[in-house]
Amino acid sequence: MQPLLSQACWDTLYMVGWSTLIAVVGGLPLGILLVLTDRGGLLQNVLANKVIGQIVNIARSMPFIILMVALMTFTRWITGTTIGREAAIVPLAIGAIPFFARLVETAVREVDGGLVEAVQAMGGNTWTVVRKVLVPESLPSLIASTTTTIVALIGYSAMAGTVGAGGLGDIAIRYGYQRFETELMWITVAILAVVISLIQFAGDYAARSLHRRGGRSGPAPKLRLLKASTATSKTV
Amino acid sequence: MITTTGLTKVYRTRGREVTALDGVDLHVREGEVYGVIGQSGAGKSSLIRCVNLLERPTAGTVTVAGQDLTALAGRGPRAGRELRQARSRIGMVFQHFNLLSSRTVQDNVELPLEILGNSGRERSRKALELLDLVGLADKAKAYPAQLSGGQKQRVGIARALAGDPKVLLSDEATSALDPETTRSILQLLRDLNRQLGLTVLLITHEMDVVKTICDSAALMEKGRIVESGTVSELLGTPGSELAAALFPVGGEASGDDRTVLDVTFHGEAATQPVISQLSRTYNIDISILGAAIDTVGGLQIGRMRIELPGRYEDNVVPIGFLREQGLQIDVLGREALLVKDGAQ
Ligand SMILES: Nc1ncnc2c1ncn2[C@@H]1O[C@H](COP(=O)(O)OP(=O)(O)OP(=O)(O)O)[C@@H](O)[C@H]1O
Ligand SMILES: [Mg+2]
């Protein structure tokens, strides 16, 4: 039982870790682009904004299990297989990119336009604005968004068991639901709860300590993002 | 130093058009503090934002330090390299400071230098020097959230000076501050203007600001400049709204059959006992309705509202006497005549 569980833990972390990394790398620029290309944005381009927005919406409203099936060809092309951990990372990451991008968009929109203007008045270009203003000023919110994404990914990764990727969720379903080994199921549920709490705690702590340093007034970004994530999780 | 010709800005939002600037000709001389005053919505912010092309003018040209910025602007909405370089030589301070909350005070001041590509050592040397100049050397490592409004604006000013600008633009820099702090920030701007020869264009809706530090001023109404000139020119312009607002005296005529005059004293004339001379020479009784002495734009001036018995026609000679003494006389309620007199 012990090796089974530790293998499952490791599988979950592996899948979630890689897919989070890819989601951040892909979602961050996408979210920023959504803000910049919007009406009145620095790179205003209404058509591009509509197109990106639509793609993000469609991808985000796709149930994960369907996404996994729909992406099979693509997954095989990337990883050479459609089963196992590596194969699960592809749909997880692709599902999480638009999810994270929307959170990034919300966070970046919160940045005071006056700061953008100040940097423009200093002679900064759009790239400078992104690097020196948009990202650092929304960092606490971005960290909170990442936490939300990780937690959501842990949830999705349970479904990845259906393609033989293993992981904690897979154990809970296979042993608990299908074989009525409730003890094992409860243990995995407990482990999941602890892992999620730890991640949430670490994320909140990081966001809050940055936030305190900046000391801005207004509600903590966490609350806003939690609201955003409950709204989005309905459509997932 | 800053010249705009025929500057026009029309905002188009969903079919509606707002003409915020309607052919503004502004001329700010090198080394002066120039104040633009006007009511809310007059177009002051639009004007100052057009000067460094944060807002693209619909028509007209902007020249700063001999460089035609409108020519650098290009067609697209984005600022090209040349325009960005020109902007880096124009400092700007904002009403709400616009400091990055994620950076320390020193790092905020270093930001323009990062954009200019200065080395790390050079940046911190310059930033500390500027913080010293604005009196915040001890706050270098603090975050903006830990500062008072006045301190934040000092950081804003230090940051605006980082690129060694010749020109400083200030949009309501003191409007978010209390009177005491306002005074100290204005004093700082004045000192910088003197020490560094900095040309300052400032926007305000407070007459006190103009009074305290401006060499010249312009009054804006509905997107146009309706009056402008050096403070002494304005004070010397009969019927000038700005002059009256800069230096108001109160007092109402006590009856119909009276002539009310505003007498303005500059320099020499202020020391002569003209009123008693007038009274003795023409044997008339003069009542003083109101009087004030003040320093406006560094000039000592006095203004007195006096009442003479009889109508204007009866007082042409005494008024002529006062004018001969080098005094500026505004006859109240005779706008038309006044302008004619002034033209002579
Ligand atoms: N971005 C914009 N889009 C549309 N209309 C605008 C925009 N900015 C300003 N205006 C309009 O232009 C006019 C002038 O505005 P402006 O901000 O220049 O006035 P102001 O003199 O600075 O006023 P205040 O003292 O309130 O700051 C106003 O009628 C305003 O509604
Ligand atoms: Mg304004």
Q: Over its length of 236 residues, how does chain A's per-residue pLDDT go in tens digits?
A: 678 888 888 989 999 999 999 999 999 999 999 999 998 888 989 999 999 999 999 988 888 888 888 888 898 998 888 888 888 899 999 999 999 999 999 999 999 999 999 999 999 999 999 999 999 999 999 999 999 999 999 988 888 777 777 888 888 878 877 788 888 888 888 988 999 999 999 999 998 888 766 654 433 343 333 333 333 333 33
Among B210, B215, B285, which residue's Cα sits nearest to residue B248?
A: B210
pLDDT given for residue A62 in this prediction: 85
Which residue CA neighbors atom 17 of ligand 1 most closely?
B45
Q: How many CB atoms sit inside 10 A of residue B270's CB?
A: 15
Pocket test for ligand 1, best of B39, B46, B54 (most atoms within 8 A of CB): B46
Pocket test for ligand 1, best of B44, B94, B201 (most atoms within 8 A of CB): B44
* Binding-site residues on chain B for chain A (CB distance < 8 A): 52, 54, 77-79, 84-88, 90, 92, 94, 96, 98, 100-103, 111-112, 114-116, 143, 145-146, 159, 163, 169
**Most B CBs within 10 Å: which of A111, A116, A117, A122, as the mutation test of the B interface?**
A122
Among B45, B142, B159, which residue's Cα sits nearest to residue B101?
A: B142
Amino acid at A139: L
Of the candidates A43, A121, A133, which has its C-beta nearest B100's C-beta? A133
- Flag if A114 and B96 touch (Cβ within 8 Å): yes
B28 contacts B201 by C-beta, under 8 angstroms = yes
pLDDT given for residue A224 in this prediction: 38
If pLDDT is split at 50, 70 and 90, which confidence band does B130 have? very high
Please tell me the total number of residues recorded for chain B in this structure: 344
- In the predicted structure, residue B338 carries a pLDDT above the cut 50: no
- In the predicted structure, residue B24 carries a pLDDT above the cut 60: yes
pLDDT given for residue B273 in this prediction: 80
Strands B328-331 and B258-266: antiparallel
Pocket test for ligand 1, best of B8, B10, B18, B203 (most atoms within 8 A of CB): B18
Read off the pLDDT of residues B50-75 as tens digits, 9 standing for 90 and up: 999 999 999 999 999 999 999 887 76
Calculate how close chain A gets to B161, using CA atoms only, in Å: 10
Which residues of chain B are within 8 Å of residue A215 when distances are taken between CB atoms? 101, 143, 145-146
Read off the pLDDT of residues B230-257 as tens digits, 9 standing for 90 and up: 988 887 777 788 887 777 777 777 777 8
pLDDT, average across residues B142-165? 95
B18 lines ligand 1 (CB under 6 A): yes
Among positive and negative, which fits the CA dihedral B227, B229, B234, B236?
negative
If pLDDT is split at 50, 70 and 90, which confidence band does B153 have? very high
Of the candidates B100, B112, B116, which has its C-beta nearest A115's C-beta? B100
Contacts of A109 (CB under 8 A, 6+ apart): A35
- In the predicted structure, residue B303 carries a pLDDT above the cut 50: yes
B40 lines ligand 1 (CB under 6 A): yes
- In the predicted structure, residue B168 carries a pLDDT above the cut 50: yes
Which residues of chain A are within 8 Å of residue B100 when distances are taken between CB atoms? 115, 132-133, 136-137
> Is the minimum CB–CB distance between A206 and chain B shorter than 8 Å?
no
Q: How many CB atoms sit inside 10 A of residue B191's CB?
A: 14
Secondary structure (DSSP) of A61-121: HS-HHHHHHHTHHHHHHHHS-SSSHHHHHHHHHHHHHHHHHHHHHHHHHTS-HHHHHHHHH
Which residue CA neighbors atom 30 of ligand 1 most closely?
B41
Q: Which ligand 1 atom is the nearest neighbour of the CA of B223?
A: 14
CA distances from B95 to A138, B100, B136 (A): 22, 14, 19
Ligand nearest to the CA of B41: 1
Contacts of A94 (CB under 8 A, 6+ apart): A59, A67, A71
Q: If you measure CA to CA, which chain B residue comes closest to A118?
A: B98
B155 lines ligand 1 (CB under 6 A): no
Among B129, B105, B185, B196, which residue's Cα sits nearest to residue B153?
A: B185
B282 lines ligand 1 (CB under 6 A): no
> Is the minimum CB–CB distance between A3 and chain B shorter than 8 Å?
no
Q: If you measure CA to CA, which chain B residue comes closest to A124?
A: B115
pLDDT given for residue B341 in this prediction: 47
Among B244, B213, B211, which residue's Cα sits nearest to residue B227?
A: B244
- Flag if B98 and A118 touch (Cβ within 8 Å): yes
B14 lines ligand 1 (CB under 6 A): no
- Flag if A137 and B52 touch (Cβ within 8 Å): no
Question: Token pair for residue B92?
Answer: 């700007």
Which residues of chain B are within 8 Å of residue A210 when distances are taken between CB atoms? 102
Calculate how close chain A gets to B101, using CA atoms only, in Å: 5
Separation CA B41–CA A149 (nearest Å)? 45
Which residues of chain B are within 8 Å of residue A212 when distances are taken between CB atoms? none
pLDDT, average across residues B289-309? 79
Which residues of chain B are within 8 Å of residue A121 when distances are taken between CB atoms? 52, 54, 87, 90, 92, 169
Q: Which residues surround ligand 2, an ion (CB under 5 A)?
A: B 45
- Flag if A137 and B102 touch (Cβ within 8 Å): yes
Distance B43 CA to ligand 1 centre (A): 6
Read off the pLDDT of residues A67-89 as tens digits, 9 standing for 90 and up: 888 888 898 998 888 888 888 89
CA atoms within 13 A on the CB side of B31: 4
Instruction: Choose from A54-63, B142-151, B302-311 the range with maximum mean pLDDT.
Output: B142-151
Domains located in chain B, CATH noted: 2-236 (3.40.50.300), 247-343 (3.30.70.260)
Domains located in chain A, CATH noted: 2-235 (1.10.3720.10)
pLDDT given for residue A104 in this prediction: 97
pLDDT given for residue A215 in this prediction: 53
Q: Which ligand 1 atom is the nearest neighbour of the CA of B55?
A: 1
